[in-house]
Amino acid sequence: MQILDGNAVRAEILARLKPRIQNLRRPPGLAVILVGHDPASEIYVRGKIKACAELGIFSEKITPPESISTDELLAVVNKLNHRPDIDGILVQMPLPRQIDSRRILESVAPDKDADGFHPINVGHLVAGRPAPRACTPAGVIEMLKHYRVPMDGRRAVVVGRSDIVGKPMAMMLLHENATVTICHSRTWNLEEECHRADLLIAALGRPGFITGDFIAPGATVVDVGQSRIQDREAAERFGKLAEFDRKGFILVGDVHPVEVAQRASAYTPVPGGVGPLTIAMLMSNTVDLAENHQACSA
């Protein structure tokens, strides 16, 4: 059984970006807006800023107070939309409750949408036109290509229908000529639907929900989920007791780590599978946007 290592794919993606960055007249610019002090968001943003520094991408972190209003945050985004040194804008989610997240995300100029979430860019994805792509599903496609996992003509099941992963993942697989089924919490006989898949993508946010019974023998399983488990009994069920005793917590995905190893021909571990690719594809989107902006201003 093959383990699909996201760190190896990440290294390859970043290596391809370096000469493209060197050929630009100025470094690409990425602005990251982080509102408040959510610990997970702060970790994610640190990782994004670090990746920018490693590649030579200019990054700017903007940290408005947690009490900021929607209109005040819209003004921050609008200012970034008009800055010529900023090619990509990322609004770290989640935002505080008082903020209208949809209005904020849609206020980012489509040609600076580093996350690929703007409705115009989603429309370009559906139409198969070049545009920034949602980073996590784009990273999954890169991983499958890297390991030469067949997609053309294969039955792919995506479990999860979020705008961030599930829906764009299904559309990207369609563009690779897979036959795609989207499943979710209301799907009747979910286990049976998953068992038909040659390629199973789990992106529902429920730790260990996909057990061996869901997985057809020999299927490729991509685990997009990541949950922090701080219960020793649960860690034992996931076969990670030694790791729990060493660290006081474990990270698990949506797929049961022991049972997937017994059924799949290839799978992505958690951590170290899909996770490293999300930031790599954010860097790729930022470089694409910078190249487009500099081509237009030449």
**What DSSP string describes 100-163?**
-HHHHHHHS-GGGBTTS-SHHHHHHHHHT------HHHHHHHHHHHHTT---TT-EEEEE---T
Q: What b/e sequence results for 217-256 when a residue is b if at least 16 CB atoms lie within 10 Å of its CB, and e otherwise?
A: eebbbbbbbbbebeeeebbeebebeeebeeeeebbbbbbb
Q: Which of 87, 112, 113, 115 is catalytic?
A: 115
Q: Is the dihedral of CA 187, 278, 289, 91 positive or negative?
A: positive
The predicted model scores a pTM of: 0.94
- Give the model's pLDDT for residue 298: 65
DSSP structure class, residue 255: B
- Give the model's pLDDT for residue 296: 87
For 84, the token pair is 């010529």
Instruction: List Cα–Cα distances, 260 to 70, 119, 195, 218, 220, in angstroms.
Output: 44, 35, 12, 10, 10
Is 115 labeled as catalytic in the residue annotation?
A: yes
Is 48 labeled as catalytic in the residue annotation?
A: yes
**Taking 90 as the threshold, does the pLDDT of residue 40 lie above it?**
no
Domains of the chain, CATH where assigned: 25-110 (3.40.50.10860), 135-275 (3.40.50.720)
Q: Which of 92, 167, 198, 223 is catalytic?
A: 92
Is 92 labeled as catalytic in the residue annotation?
A: yes
Within 10 angstroms of residue 196's Cβ, the number of other Cβ atoms is: 14
- Give the model's pLDDT for residue 37: 86
Mean pLDDT, residues 186-191 taken together: 95
